[in-house]
Amino acid sequence: MKLAYLFFFVFVCASIPSKCLSDLITTTCDRTTSKDLCNSILKNHHKGTNNLQGLATITLHVAISHATRIQNQINITLTKTSQNLKEKKVLEECLQNFDMAVQSTKDSVNALSLKRYPDVVAWISGAQSQVNYCVDSLTEMKIFSPLSDKCSIFLKICSIELRMIYILTGTEPVI
Digit-coded pLDDT (tens) for 111-152: 999 999 999 999 999 999 999 999 998 888 776 667 888 999
Q: What is the 3-state secondary structure (H, E, C) of the chain?
A: CHHHHHHHHHHHHHHCHHHHHHHHHHHHHHCCCCHHHHHHHHHHHCCCCCCHHHHHHHHHHHHHHHHHHHHHHHHHHHHHCCCCHHHHHHHHHHHHHHHHHHHHHHHHHHHHHCCCHHHHHHHHHHHHHHHHHHHHHHHHCCCCCHHHHHHHHHHHHHHHHHHHHHHHHCCCCCC
pTM here? 0.84
Q: 44-103, pLDDT tens digit by residue?
A: 877 778 899 999 999 999 999 999 999 999 998 888 866 678 888 888 999 999 999 999
What pLDDT was estimated at residue 171? 85
Mean predicted confidence (pLDDT) in 15-40: 81
